[in-house]
Amino acid sequence: MKDNIANAFNQGHKGLVIYVTAGHPNMEESERLIGEFIEAGADLIELGVPFSDPMADGAVIQESSQIALSNGATLPKIIDMAARLRKKYATPMILFSYYNILLAKGFEQTVASCAEAGIDGLLIVDLPQEEIAEVKPALDKYNLALVRLIAPTTPPERAREIVAGADGFIYYITVRGVTGVRSAVAQDLEEHLSTLRKLSPVPVAAGFGISTPEQARASAQYADGAVVGSAVVRLVSQGKQREAVELVRSLAAGLA
Amino acid sequence: MPRHYGIYGGQYVAETLMPALNELDRTYQALKNDPGFRAEMNGYLRDYIGRESPLFFAERLTEYAGGARIYLKREDLNHTGAHKVNNTIGQALIARRMGKKCLIAETGAGMHGVATATVAALFGMECEVFMGAEDIRRQAPNVQRMEVLGTKVTAVHSGSSTLKDAMNEALRQWIARVDDTLYVIGTVAGPHPYPEMVADFQSVISREARAQILEKTGRLPDEVIACVGGGSNAIGMFKHFIPDASVRLTGVEAGGSGLETGKHAASICGGRTGVLHGCKTYLLQDEFGQIIETHSVSAGLDYPGVGPEHSYLHDSGRVSYKTINDVEALEAFDLLCRREGIIPALESAHALAQGLKSAAAMSKDQSIIICLSGRGDKDMQNVCEVKQKLFGKVTS
């Protein structure tokens, strides 16, 4: 349910949002890893749904998506996995997906399955403000949040419009580019984020390109939380699962 | 003009691109009816591309089919050898008005890449073209053409290493360089305003063809036929005939090894509705919404989607979509070479094959126009390889 998302950002510290490519490297290990990430301090899990054509993702998530798909990941299996995780953990979970996957079995039916599994919201990467009218009724009916993205290229007037309808949290994209690991935090971050937080009725998390505890802390100081994806996914792709869990633990410690 | 065609079209892209699309849309809407812009564009179409392109009566092909009179709209005679340049001239002029310094593009057969590289050189812009590694192998001459024109050709190795993957990569690059770069999409797919804008720039094909056939025969044709990958030459070929209810319009998709084998690139004939590359349209996908790999002898038709206006024209029944498989296309390729002395692009050979079937079933007082969208020089190596594989010999 969408109200659960606020619990990621009201724990007395900045929220740590962890993106995982669901089903990577395979469904079983992915489920175990997500549990370990939660126990290591992740405050919200983005279940990345692998897509054959991930247009907004960099090399790391493209590769992890391919691995997950070739090992049999599908959206119905990912929703089943979320339902099992929900029985063990109250931690907020959202699906992070391209729109076509959500349409394949009928959008409303997919939203109903998500709600039943205990998923709290959807982030649809390729569904901008212009097209949300077609998904809102189903999301409202099942009380799921639609997490909106705001980019450094989003003009102020447009950002105000997006924020006005926001629920769950706002995902602020910190860089002009696709997902991936980068060495520096963007320069104009403070200005954009502080303006956005004043406008937003919901928490704001900063993401894209954040890979170290230092970057997470630097980005989160102007926001309500930080999103880390590729840095964790890359370790899993390299078979360094213990290191991935340790990275989540040190990211959490950095935000505490 | 609509952002949607019925339920199709729209703008399904990452938020980072929306401001750039809105800026492009504002610029295009302001320019599209601007007489100064149109005059500038028409000047390049005439003096640089060599328009208008001829409408040629293919007498020996007509004799072979034994039915309707076959006319060929000779887009293969344009500068750069295909219809693609009609569109890249328009988009480059828009990029210049927007103050953009770089053009990026995706390409499949390489014709759109060459057409973009050409206008980048003409207007002194930087250019980078993304091309699937498999297509680079299949269409080597076009890679060399782009490079001599000063364009950087970047190989894309992800997915099936073909056109859709090149488009993914071009979109990713655009997200990262949106301030000074325009993404020149080569087909009538992608997010609004591309389907409308590309259709507008390509509609010169049917504007000319309609006037030419009236002048030659005194009446409208009975059927107009074009091949459909993303569908830009087809939309251009159909546009001004759409209001003429008596003219049958036929789009030809790539049947690959045959629709029944599942190895094809026929998004409308063999797919269902979904969202890819910024628009809602017919797609080739599995039951979970993963895009499936396409198969066609022709790199330019090897795309799992189709322009949203085609999806709409299919549902409304105004255009019939059919498939021609690899073998039929190769036979039509040979026929045009031998009977008319014209080497067609393998893409256009699909339209020719359908045209021969249609003409044979029609009477001698009827006429059809086939869009000969490009020339086949680029395909020589590929044709020889495929013929060797399919028939065990190169010459028929």
Q: Which residue is closest to A52 within chain B, CA to CA? A: B290
Q: Is residue A250 part of a domain?
A: yes
Q: Which of B17, B178, B275 sits opposite A99 (nearest CB)?
A: B275
Chain A CB contacts of B292 under 8 Å are 52
Q: Is residue A163 part of a domain?
A: no
Whether residue A183 is predicted with pLDDT greater than 80 in this model: the reply is: no
A121-124 and A145-146 as β-strands: parallel, antiparallel, unpaired?
parallel
Q: What angle do CA B81, B52, B24 make, to 5 degrees?
A: 75
What are the residues whose beta carbons fall under 8 Å from the beta carbon of A3, sequence distance 6 or more? none
Instruction: CATH number of the domain at A96, please.
Output: 3.20.20.70
Residues of chain B with pLDDT under 50: 1
Chain B contact for A130 (CB, 8 A cutoff): yes
Range of the domain at A10: 2-145+211-255
Q: How close B386 gets to chain A, by Cα (Å)? A: 28
The pLDDT value recorded for residue A184 is: 59
Phi–psi pair at A243, nearest 5 degrees: -65, -35
With an 8 Å Cβ cutoff, are A103 and B289 in contact? yes
Secondary structure in 3-state letters for chain A: CHHHHHHHCCCCCCEEEEEEECCCCCHHHHHHHHHHHHHCCCCEEEEECCCCCCCCCCHHHHHHHHHHHHCCCCHHHHHHHHHHHHHHCCCCEEEEECHHHHHCCCHHHHHHHHHHHCCCEEEECCCCHHHHHHCHHHHHHCCCEECEEECCCCCHHHHHHHHHCCCCCEEEECCCCCCCECCCCCCCHHHHHHHHHHHCCCCEEEECECCCHHHHHHHHCCCCEEEECHHHHHHHHCCCHHHHHHHHHHHHHHHC
Chain B CB contacts of A127 under 8 Å are 12
With an 8 Å Cβ cutoff, are A131 and B274 in contact? no
Whether residue A55 is predicted with pLDDT greater than 60 in this model: the reply is: yes
Q: Is residue A243 part of a domain?
A: yes
With an 8 Å Cβ cutoff, are B12 and A99 in contact? yes
With an 8 Å Cβ cutoff, are B15 and A128 in contact? yes
With an 8 Å Cβ cutoff, are A126 and B13 in contact? yes
Q: Is residue A166 part of a domain?
A: no
With an 8 Å Cβ cutoff, are A56 and B20 in contact? no
Q: What angle do CA A14, A19, A24 make, to 5 degrees?
A: 150
Q: In terms of residues, how long is chain A?
A: 256
Chain B contact for A127 (CB, 8 A cutoff): yes
Q: Which of A53, A151, A152 sits opposite B168 (nearest CB)?
A: A53
The pLDDT value recorded for residue B1 is: 45
What pLDDT digit, counting tens, does each position of A135-171 carry? Answer: 999 999 999 999 999 998 899 999 999 999 999 999 9
With an 8 Å Cβ cutoff, are B175 and A99 in contact? no
For residue B136, what are its two tokens?
């680079």
What pLDDT digit, counting tens, does each position of B126-166 carry? Answer: 999 999 998 898 888 999 999 999 999 999 998 888 889 99
Assembly ipTM: 0.94
Candidates B12, B291, B293: best to mutate against A (most CBs of A within 10 A) is B12
Q: Is residue A173 part of a domain?
A: no
The pLDDT value recorded for residue B199 is: 98
With an 8 Å Cβ cutoff, are A125 and B14 in contact? yes
Chain B CB contacts of A103 under 8 Å are 273-275, 289
Number of domains in chain A: 1
With an 8 Å Cβ cutoff, are B291 and A53 in contact? yes
The pLDDT value recorded for residue A64 is: 97
Q: How close B375 gets to chain A, by Cα (Å)? A: 31
Q: How close B275 gets to chain A, by Cα (Å)? A: 5
Active site residues of A: 46, 57
Q: Which of B12, B277, B283 sits opposite A127 (nearest CB)?
A: B12
pTM comes to 0.96
pLDDT band at A227 (very low <50, low <70, confident <90, very high): very high
A:B CB pairs within 8 Å? 118
Q: Which of B15, B273, B278 sits opposite A151 (nearest CB)?
A: B15
Q: How close B155 gets to chain A, by Cα (Å)? A: 14
Q: How close B11 gets to chain A, by Cα (Å)? A: 7
Secondary structure in 3-state letters for chain B: CCCEECCEEEEECCHHHHHHHHHHHHHHHHHCCCHHHHHHHHHHHHHHHCCCCCEEECHHHHHHHCCCEEEEEEHHHCHHHECHHHHHHHHHHHHHHCCCCEEEEEECCCHHHHHHHHHHHHHCCEEEEEEEHHHHHHCHHHHHHHHHCCCEEEEECCCCCCHHHHHHHHHHHHHHCCCCEEECCCCCCCCCCHHHHHHHHHCHHHHHHHHHHHHHHCCCCCEEEEECCCCHHHHHHHHHHCCCCCCEEEEEEEEECEHHHCECCCHHHHCEEEEECEEEEEECECCCCCECCCCCCCHHHCCCCCCHHHHHHHHHCCEEEEEEEHHHHHHHHHHHHHHHCCCECHHHHHHHHHHHHHHHCCCCCCEEEEEECEECHHHHHHHHHHHHHHHCCCCC
Q: Which of B273, B277, B290 sits opposite A52 (nearest CB)?
A: B290
Q: How close B396 gets to chain A, by Cα (Å)? A: 40
A230, A130, A235, A150: which is closest to A195 by C-alpha? A150
Chain A CB contacts of B278 under 8 Å are 126
How many Cβ atoms are within 10 Å of A141's Cβ, its own excluded?
12
Chain B CB contacts of A56 under 8 Å are 14, 16, 171-172, 175
Q: Is residue A25 part of a domain?
A: yes
Chain B contact for A55 (CB, 8 A cutoff): yes
Chain B contact for A112 (CB, 8 A cutoff): no
Chain B contact for A30 (CB, 8 A cutoff): no
Using CA atoms, how far apart are residues A24 and A67, in angstroms rounded to an integer? 6
Q: Is residue A150 part of a domain?
A: no
User: What's chain B's average pLDDT?
Assistant: 95
Q: Is residue A217 part of a domain?
A: yes
pLDDT band at A185 (very low <50, low <70, confident <90, very high): low
Using CA atoms, how far apart are residues A99 and A107, in angstroms rounded to an integer? 9
Active site residues of B: 84, 106, 373
For residues B84 and B115, the answer to whether their CB atoms sit within 8 Å is yes
